[in-house]
Chains A and B, each alone.
Chain A
Amino acid sequence: MSQLSELFDFGPFFDNFDLILEGFWATVRLSAASAVLSLVIGTVLVSFRVSPVPVLRAVGAAYVNVLRNTPLTLVLLMCALGLNDTLALKFSDDPGTTYYWWAVTGLSAYTGAFVCEALRSGINTVPLGQAEAARSIGLTFFQSLRMIILPQAFRAVIAPLGSILIAMIKNTTVAAAASYAETATVMKDLLDLPTFNSGAIPLFIGVAIGFMLLTLPTGFFFGWLAKRMAVAR
């Protein structure tokens, strides 16, 4: 009986609630910046991938294939240990700041490849006639991409983009590898404390619920947005 109550002892979780909240705040900061940056990277990449210039298409394809097929841990380690520590390419002299931005960069670079591919499938849903009409009124390739094709492609893939962002939010836990202290780092530190000898499962449950509080609304929001923004044909 005592073992069972120990198993579900939420005491340590609430004792360290401040630390855990701090961890989640770091997760939110990382997620928000990476969400924006990965959408930007994905949009730029997809315009490379559908561009009439062969060199740009090749660059886009190479980028996507490398980043999409490399484990995120490696990407983040490369950023933090390789670029920041070894090559001393630092965003700032403050270690917290520079690791934060390297984590944002690495996560966005990785997620951007997935955003690019989602957008590319969105572009395939836009009828060819839309691009022809855009060209026939004198829009250049990039104008028609920006004003006609991408807005419709985005609307077609809002729901899958939501899934990519949810995956990205959960992937922030890997940023621990890039020396950025977020929720998973806090959790691991707590587990490593010599005084922490019970309540590991409650800690996992608490952190899982915390992530759901971030990701479930994201999913609902994107689902709602997808319906609202759908293009009627």
Chain B
Amino acid sequence: MTDSGGRPENVTDKEVTEVAGGPQEGDPGAAPLVVVENVNKYFGDLHVLKDINLTVNRGEVVVIIGPSGGGKSTLCRSINRLEPIDSGRILVDGKELPKEGKELARLRADVGMVFQSFNLFAHKTILENVTLGPVKVRKVPKEEAEKHAMELLDRVGIASQAQKYPAQLSGGQQQRAAIARSLAMRPKVMLFDEPTSALDPEMVNEVLDVMTELAREGMTMIVVTHEMGFARRAAQKVVFMADGQIVEENTPDEFFTNARTDRAKDFLSKILTH
């Protein structure tokens, strides 16, 4: 673990699971948090996810990179079933996601999601955005939820904007508010679907800083991004996806300096030269 984001306690987790090889419901400490098994998905005739297998351990930060249309976002969205899958299964904390209904809603609450276009609730203030989930889904008393929300907003640096509406904030502030909204649910894992792609360049770092901090605190994260700096800094694993397949899984250092597959080398040569 030469990359800066790795934490020693995580290594033990990882080794145990790798030996055990697969989800073990009886032992939550060791079992991987997210398991994607033989997942296939089609958009009509288009085969967008081709037999995907991926394991994410507790506290691990996995960055998914690759060319557009390669299935990165679809994979990310299928983990909390915003995209239904056609075959295979996806386990979060040892449980398979149910098809629809209340049970699915409850499991979704454990999986935080941050979108490219922020998707803050436009008719609610920032504070209301952050407290809505805890109050309505987790049944946390309003006062307690607001206290926690203010702590989170403070942590992402926008506590002073709590009473404003999303449209009054900059993109970077909105995205940080969206991260706070997800964190308020105390999720087991956070999904980031190109969280900085819709931001002005000068606002990218404020969001990446929050994410790096989260990674350092031990949050399990699956991040679809084109930010190579973030991948090097915070990730334990890089997953390279192209044409609906996972082409390469590697450590960030290995991947960026010495990628194993030609497809990845080709991709990297195109983005790292400018």
Q: Assess A139 versus B137: contact at CB under 8 Å? Given A130-B122, A147-B132.
A: yes
Residues of B81-106 at the interface with A, using a CB-CB cut-off of 8 Å, are 82, 100-102, 105-106
Q: Which residues of A contact B133 (CB under 8 A)?
A: 137-139
Q: Which residues of B contact A143 (CB under 8 A)?
A: 105, 136-137
Residues of A196-233 at the interface with B, using a CB-CB cut-off of 8 Å, are 231-233
Q: Does B71 contact A (CB under 8 A)?
A: no
Q: Does A127 contact B (CB under 8 A)?
A: yes
Q: Does B112 contact A (CB under 8 A)?
A: yes
Would you call B112 and A232 a contact (CB within 8 A)? no
Would you call A132 and B82 a contact (CB within 8 A)? yes
Residues of B114-167 at the interface with A, using a CB-CB cut-off of 8 Å, are 115, 117-123, 132-133, 136-138, 165, 167
State the majority secondary structure of interface residues on B: loop
Q: Does B215 contact A (CB under 8 A)?
A: no
Q: Assess A129 versus B167: contact at CB under 8 Å? Given A136-B108, A139-B136.
A: no
Q: Does B111 contact A (CB under 8 A)?
A: yes
Would you call B119 and A133 a contact (CB within 8 A)? yes
Q: Give A125 Cβ to nearest chain B Cβ, in Å.
A: 11
Would you call A133 and B115 a contact (CB within 8 A)? yes
Would you call B185 and A138 a contact (CB within 8 A)? yes
Residues of A74-105 at the interface with B, using a CB-CB cut-off of 8 Å, are none
Out of B101, B102, B119, B138, name the residue touching A132 (CB < 8 Å).
B119
Would you call A52 and B136 a contact (CB within 8 A)? no
Q: Which residues of B contact A52 (CB under 8 A)?
A: 100
Q: Which residues of A contact B121 (CB under 8 A)?
A: 130, 133-134, 148
Out of B102, B106, B111, B168, name the residue touching A136 (CB < 8 Å).
B111
Q: Does A111 contact B (CB under 8 A)?
A: no
Would you call B123 and A231 a contact (CB within 8 A)? yes
A138 to B80, CA, bound (A): 10
Interface string of A147-166 (1 = CB under 8 A from B): 11001100100000000000
Would you call A140 and B123 a contact (CB within 8 A)? no
A147 to B137, CA, bound (A): 12
Q: Does B113 contact A (CB under 8 A)?
A: yes
Q: Does A29 contact B (CB under 8 A)?
A: no
Would you call A136 and B122 a contact (CB within 8 A)? no
A129, A136, A140 interface centre (most CB from chain B within 10 Å): A136
Q: Give A124 Cβ to nearest chain B Cβ, in Å.
A: 15
Q: Which residues of A contact B138 (CB under 8 A)?
A: 138
Q: Does B182 contact A (CB under 8 A)?
A: yes
Q: Give B165 Cβ to nearest chain A Cβ, in Å.
A: 6
Q: Which residues of B contact A148 (CB under 8 A)?
A: 121
Q: Does B204 contact A (CB under 8 A)?
A: no
Would you call B167 and A232 a contact (CB within 8 A)? yes
Would you call B105 and A129 a contact (CB within 8 A)? no
Q: Assess A152 versus B102: contact at CB under 8 Å? Given A136-B108, A138-B109.
A: no
Q: Assess A232 versus B108: contact at CB under 8 Å? Given A133-B120, A148-B121.
A: no
Q: Which residues of B contact A232 (CB under 8 A)?
A: 122, 165, 167-168
Interface string of B225-258 (1 = CB under 8 A from A): 0000000000000000000000000000000000
What are 23 pairs between A and B in contact, CB < 8 Å? Answer: A127-B117, A127-B119, A129-B115, A129-B117, A129-B118, A132-B82, A132-B115, A133-B121, A134-B121, A136-B111, A136-B112, A137-B133, A138-B138, A139-B132, A139-B137, A140-B105, A143-B105, A147-B132, A147-B136, A148-B121, A152-B122, A152-B123, A233-B122
**B interface residues with partner A (beta carbon < 8 Å):** 80, 82, 100-102, 105-106, 108-113, 115, 117-123, 132-133, 136-138, 165, 167-168, 178, 181-182, 185
The 7 lowest CB-CB distance pairs between A and B, nearest first, are A138-B109, A137-B133, A232-B167, A129-B119, A133-B119, A136-B113, A138-B137
Known: A130-B121, A152-B122. 6 other contacts (CB 8 A): A136-B111, A137-B185, A138-B106, A139-B105, A139-B136, A155-B123
